[in-house]
Amino acid sequence: MASLIGGLGGLTLCVGEFISADNAITVGNLLQILGFLVAWNGIRRFFERKPLWWTCILVMALCAGILVFSRLASHFEDTRIIVIAGTEALIALVCVHEMLKRPSALHMTTAASAFAMFAQAAALVTGALIMVLAMKPHSPRVMVLENSLLLMAVMTTIFWNFGFLAMVVSKLQRRLVHLAATDELTGVANRRAFVESANRERSRANRDSTSPSLLIIDVDNFKLINDIHGHVGGDRILANISRTISNCLRPYDLLARIGGDEFCVLMPSTSYTHAMAAAERIRKAIETRTLTWNGKAFNATVSIGVVTWTPEMGGLLQIMSLADAALYDGKRTGRNRVVAVQPDILHPFPTGQTAAQADEEPGAKIEKSGP
C-alpha cells in the first residue's frame, strides 16, 4: 500500500512538473509523504506495535499547511524541496529506529532494509541541499549529481520494498516452524518437538558425560473430569495445568504435551535427587491449586513417573517406557504420586513386565512419594 501511494504521488508529481501545475505538484508531494507514513505504520504493525495514525494526520496537515502557505511567498520551489525532502528523510530515519530498536529480534533482512532506508534519507537530504544552495541555473555537473541522488533515492525505495517482502516471508517461515513444534491447546511443545529436543539432549549428555532426567505427567481421572465438565472444560483444565507445570520449571527445561492428558518434561543435566524434588514440587502445586469451570471449583491431581537417563538405559523409547511404567505404578497404587526409577537400574523392563514385577527384581528399584 505504501509503495502504491508513493508511486501515485510520483506520477502526479511528474504530470505537475510537465504542465507546470503547482496544485498537482503539491498533491504529488503530499502523496509521497503519505506513502512514507503508511510504510512507518506498517513497520510498527509488523513488529506488533500500535500504529500511530493520529500522528500521521498531524504530519500531513502540517506539511499541507506549509506548502499552501509557501505558495504565497516568493520562494515556493525552495521551500517545497526543503519541506518534502526533510519530512521524508525524517520519517525514513524513524522507520530505521523502529526496525533497529530491538536487537534481539534483528535479522539480516531487517538490517538490510534499515540500511536502505538510511541511505535513502541521506540521498534525500543531500539532494535537497544541493538543489537549494547551488547557483541557478544549475550547471551540468550539478544536474548530474542531482539526478544521481534522485536515482539513488528511487533504487533504495525498491531495495527496502524487497527487504520488507523478505522480512514478511521470514516471519511467516518462523511462524510455521513455531506452529509445527507447538501444541495448539496449551501452547507448550508438541510430541514432535519433544522427541527432537530429547534426542539432541541425549547426544549432548553422552558427549559431556551428564545425565538428563525425564518426567512423564498424567492427569488423574481425566475421563471423569471430561464427563463432569465437558470437553471444553477439560481443555481449559489442561491449559491451566500446563501453566502450573511451567511455573515449577527452570527456563531451560522443556515441557511438552505428548498425548491427550499426558505431559512430558525434559530436564537437562539434572540428577535423580533434583528430578524427584522437581516432580514433587509439580505434584503439590497442582494438588493445591483450585480450578474453576462454569462456577464449579475443584482440585485436580497428577501422577508422575521419573527417570534419570544413564547411558546403560538405551534410547528415548526405552526411557519413556521406563517412565511410563513408573507412572502407571503410581496410578495403580492410589494416584497423586511421584514414582521414580532409581538410578542404579542397568536394563529397561523386559517386554510385558510391569513396574510391580520389576520392583521385585534386583536390577530395578522404584521409589514412590506422595500422600
pLDDT given for residue 123 in this prediction: 83
Nearest to 160 by CA among 97, 118, 101, 100: 118
pLDDT given for residue 371 in this prediction: 63
CATH of domain 191-369: 3.30.70.270
Phi-psi region of 81 (alpha: psi -120 to 50; beta: other; left: phi over 0): alpha
pLDDT given for residue 255 in this prediction: 94
pLDDT of 362 over the 60 cut: no
33-81: per-residue pLDDT in tens?
A: 888 888 888 888 888 888 888 888 998 888 888 877 777 665 667 777 7
Euclidean distance between CA atoms 261 and 259, whole angstroms: 6
The mean pLDDT of 97-115, rounded to a whole number, is 77
Are 316 and 199 a contacting pair, CB within 8 Å? yes
Nearest to 111 by CA among 121, 91, 96: 96
Report residue 106's pLDDT band, with 50, 70 and 90 as the boundaries. low
pLDDT given for residue 115 in this prediction: 84
Are 127 and 156 a contacting pair, CB within 8 Å? no
Predicted TM-score of the model (pTM): 0.61
pLDDT of 349 over the 60 cut: no
Nearest to 263 by CA among 185, 333, 190, 176: 190
Euclidean distance between CA atoms 26 and 365, whole angstroms: 85
Residue spans per domain, the chain: 2-180, 191-369
pLDDT of 363 over the 80 cut: no
Residue type, 162: F
* Residue given cell 498425548 in the structure block: 259
